[in-house]
Amino acid sequence: MTGLLEPKAIGTDLRRRDGALKVTGAARYAYEAPVDNAAYAHPVQATIGRGRVTSVDTAAAEALDGVIAVLTHENAERLASTEDAELAVLQSGDVAFRGQVIALVVAETSETARHAADLVTVHYDEQEHDCVLDPDGELYKPDKVNPAFETDTAVGDVAGAMASADVTVEQTYTTAMYHNNPLEPHATTALWQPAGDGGDLTLWDSTQGVHPARSTVAEVFGLAEDQVRVVCPYVGGGFGSKGTPHAHVILAAAAARAVPGRPVKLALTRPQMFALAGYRTPTIQRMQLAANRDGVLSAIAIDVVEQTSRIKEFAEQTGVPTRTMYRAPNRRTTHRLAALDVPVPSWMRAPGECPGMFGPEVAMDELAEALGIDPVELRIRNEPEVDPDTGHPFSSRNLVACLREGAARFGWDERDPRPGVRLRDGWLIGTGVASSVYPVHQMPQSTATIRCEDGRYVVEIGAADLGTGTWTTLAQIAADALAVPVADVQVCIGDTAYPMASVAGGSSGMITWGSAVVEAAHAFREKFGDDPADGDEAEGSVSENPMAERYAMYAFGAQFAEAHVNADTGEIRVPRLLGVFAAGRIVNPRTARSQFQGGMTMGLSMALHETSVMDPRFGHVVNHDLAEYHVATNADVADLQAHWLDEHDDKVNPMGVKGIGEIGIVGTAAAVANAVHHATGVRVRDLPITLDKLLPHLP
């Protein structure tokens, strides 16, 4: 690869270009699509965990003034593809989980739709359901884990190493079920124009990828892709839950088809999001570490048990980060799934890495304690020269530098390793550390065009901005690739009218779309030189990076936490979180900091607060709103710092960027758990860490 782009606009902390529109309310979100004469849809959800709908009585709902239609499995249109069972809505009376949509009301107002939905009576043939993730229950081995990793890996003899090691750690750790809960609920406005061959469908959908959403919807309805347009300039958060279309998108489109020419709006309520918008599976992680007295690992193993829904598999790659983190001659990772009568799990910020760096990073802390070695030092002693999984060299790996920089900034060196000995003003105080990692993902396809208009450069690509900063950062990349001031660049994203872009997932956006923009800029300059005429246009696409075959590419980080535990009540507060990341070149420090800090806050939330309480008797998450499902609030976050190293990696892509959207959440919960242990001497291995788990052990 030739040298990196000369950074001029890249690296400056430009304000968000969409900021003013958002804070003044001028930015329109999916539900606010500017359409006339909209109808409104509201789903009816199953109230059994498994079985069949035997009859749906819609008479009372239909009799209500203002009700336009009630769709059920008996009258809804047959979809062209039902291969994706999550999207095969209203195709049969089968109920696969509680909360599944079994009817849809379309009405003149959202209030009427909601009222009518209440009036629909459903009879069921109920079967016994199973919603309990039990490591001793029926499990199976998936073919691959998300998206296409080997399910199991094994090298050497872990059992042998465990038997002969000086010190071992063998513990089970669990993470809870989590829901993404973006502020903007999942929402779609759909319009079928009956004209043409089979009509045209426009979707204003809150999505992380307009083109992937279009492909999915076109396939489900048997349409050509050019019959479908998906528009999404702004997204109020997604965290993965808007990465693939869920049932409501198909429902909105089906409802629109039932009232041709009339737009239909559908927004999920917060409780509905707990059944219909994906979530992170709970995980059970059995860890084994073996080491000699110097802390050098001879074995590392993780055996993961997690759940999926019976109708559609999603296998979270929880064991995968363990394959890369530390050197050890004997290694094993496995994944086993329970297929349950539960909603369909899906992506949530850093699938795999986020839960998968909890057990291992707490286990490392336990090992450090057993050995009497500082936990930062223990990690440094197990730094591999090459990727232990593939044997490839790293394109850059600065975990050790992150640990050292973080330790210096955090004041780690003054740390007294003894747990449970610092009591100040009624609070037990402790500090903890954990490593962080996230792979460099580049998606195979994305195209951008650049056109000269009135002396400015218009960049078009169907990319997404989930609040991450794409509107701004793509302009910075285009400016440097074209060697023009960033003010001369206009970026157009979030519409399938623009060239094809990949999903905003796997922290791949900047890498993939940015590469396409750089290619387009090069093509543009090649064709039109430095003095283009109005209307000149060139296109560029991301291409495979040959280096990806030869190098292991990852961002790394180190997370430090200070925990205070009330000696009377066990209440836990985290006044200080500090992360240092090595994630390639940072395109915009302002938007990057907010990504890192957002991830860290979400990790804190996972450590202390979040848990979706599944009531196995009913089969649904019972704390399904934001009053009862706790996410960290401002008051829970105090001194929150994200720093990064100046990392130069010329192998990853022409911008030298690695993804940053997800790494902030990775390792945070382990750092907090380790800090709580240091504060109290209590080792909590099951998230979230709540006061009832500490109370019995407090003085």
Residue 571 contacts residue 565 (beta carbons within 8 Å): yes
Question: Whose CA is closest to 579, among 439, 349, 429, 407?
Answer: 407
Torsion region of 469: left, alpha or beta (phi above 0 gives left; psi -120 to 50 gives alpha): left
Binding other proteins by CB under 8 A: which of 624, 651, 677, 685? 624
Does 636 bind other proteins (CB under 8 A)? Our answer is yes
Beta strand segments in 46-97, E: 51-57, 67-72, 94-95
**Shortest distance, CB of residue 696 to other proteins, whole angstroms?**
7
Buried b (16+ CB within 10 A) or exposed e, 430-441: bbbbbbbbbbbb
Is residue 60 a contact point for other proteins (CB under 8 A)?
Answer: no
The distance of closest approach from Cβ of residue 53 to other proteins in the complex, given in angstroms and rounded to an integer, is 15
Query: Out of 28, 630, 643, 683, which residue is the one contacting other proteins (CB under 8 A)?
Result: 630
Residue 224 burial class via C-beta count within 10 angstroms: exposed 0-12, middle 13-18, buried 19 and up: exposed
- Among the listed ranges 53-61, 112-120, 320-328, 361-369, the one in contact with other proteins (CB under 8 A) is 112-120
Contact between 613 and other proteins per CB under 8 A: yes
Shortest distance, CB of residue 609 to other proteins, whole angstroms?
5
In this structure, what are the phi and psi dihedrals at residue 14, rounded to the nearest 5 degrees?
-50, 140
Residue 258, SS3? helix
Tokens of 337: 């799934």
Give the residue with the Cβ less far from other proteins, 115 or 422: 115
User: What are the Cα distances from residue 291, in Å, to 356, 366, 378, 669?
Assistant: 20, 12, 10, 24
Q: Tell me the angle at which helices 509-528 and 470-482 cross, rounded to the nearest 10 degrees.
A: 30
Strands 456-460 and 554-566: unpaired
Piece of 396-404, 517-525, 531-539, 605-613 that binds other proteins (CB under 8 A)? 605-613
Instruction: Name residues contacting other proteins, limited to 409-448 (CB under 8 A).
Output: 426
Tell which one of 118, 383, 416, 453 touches other proteins (CB under 8 A): 118
**Cβ proximity to other proteins, 512 vs 605, nearer residue:** 605
Q: Is 569 in the site for other proteins (CB under 8 A)?
A: yes
Residue 617 binds other proteins (CB under 8 A): yes
The 8-class DSSP code of residue 657 comes to: B
Asked if 628 interacts with other proteins (CB under 8 A), we say yes
Choices 209-217, 329-337, 501-509, 570-578 (CB under 8 A): range interacting with other proteins: 570-578
187-216 residues near other proteins, rule: CB under 8 A: none
* Binding of other proteins by 526 (CB under 8 A): no
Q: Where do runs of H (alpha helix) occur along 422-488?
A: 470-482
User: CB under 8 Å to 511, separation ≥6 — which residues?
Assistant: 440, 441, 442, 652, 653, 655, 657, 658, 659
Q: Which strands sit side by side in the sheet containing 121-126, from one edge to the other?
A: 94-95, 51-57, 121-126
Identify whether the C-beta of residue 460 lies closer than 8 Å to the C-beta of residue 478.
no
In the complex, minimum distance from the CB of residue 602 to other proteins, in angstroms, rounded to a whole number: 14
**Calpha distance 695→566 (Å, rounded):** 10
- Distances in Å between the Cα of 29 and the Cα atoms of 186, 237, 468 are 10, 11, 15
Active-site residue 662, yes or no? yes
Residue with smaller CB distance to other proteins, 168 or 623: 623
Binding mask 488-517 for other proteins (x = CB under 8 A): ------------------------------
Query: Considering 405, 519, 562, 662, which one is annotated as catalytic?
Result: 662
Nearest partner of 222 among 198, 246, 203, judged by Cα: 198
Per CB under 8 A, 174 contacts other proteins: no
Q: Which is nearer to other proteins, 23 or 154 (CB)?
A: 23
Structure tokens belonging to residue 590 = 């302002």
- φ/ψ region of 303 (left if φ > 0, alpha if ψ in -120 to 50, else beta) reads beta
Using rule CB under 8 A, residue 282 touches other proteins: no
Nearest to 474 by CA among 440, 437, 441, 504: 504
Q: Could you tell me the smallest distance in angstroms from the CB atom of residue 478 to other proteins?
A: 41
Closer to other proteins by CB, 482 or 621: give it.
621
The answer to the question of residue 172 lying near other proteins (CB under 8 A) is no
Interface residue with other proteins among 431, 595, 611, 680 (CB under 8 A) is: 611
Determine if 573 is a binding residue for other proteins (CB under 8 A): yes
Candidates 28, 490, 622, 683: give the one binding other proteins (CB under 8 A): 622
Cis preceding linkage at 699, omega within 30:
no
User: Can you tell me the distance from the alpha carbon of 251 to that of 194, in angstroms, rounded to the nearest whole number?
Assistant: 18
Residues 461 and 475: beta-carbon distance below 8 Å: no
Which residues face 335 on adjacent strands?
A: 304
Shorter beta-carbon distance to other proteins: residue 115 or 409: 115
335/624 with CB nearer other proteins = 624
- Number of chain positions touching other proteins (CB under 8 A): 40
The reply on whether position 634 binds other proteins by CB under 8 A is yes
Residue owning tokens 């242990």: 677
Closest distance between other proteins and the C-beta of residue 250, in Å?
Answer: 23
Whether 581 and 406 have beta carbons less than 8 Å apart is answered as no
Cα 199 to chain center, whole Å? 34
Figure out which of the listed residues 609, 658, 678, 685 binds other proteins, where binding follows CB under 8 A: 609
For the window 671-690, what string marks contact with other proteins as x by the rule CB under 8 A? -------------------x
Question: Where are any strands of DSSP class E within 371-455?
Answer: 423-424, 427-439, 447-453
285-344: which residues touch other proteins (CB under 8 A)?
A: none
- Selected from 13, 74, 83, 111, the binder of other proteins by CB under 8 A is 111
To the nearest whole angstrom, how small is the minimum distance from the Cβ of residue 695 to other proteins? Answer: 6
| Shortest separation between residue 667's beta carbon and other proteins, angstroms | 21
Residue whose CB is less far from other proteins, 13 or 628: 628
Catalytic residue list:
662
Give the interface with other proteins as residue ranges (CB under 8 A): 47, 111, 114-115, 118, 271, 426, 568-571, 573, 608-609, 611, 613-618, 620, 622-625, 627-628, 630, 632-636, 690-692, 695-696, 698
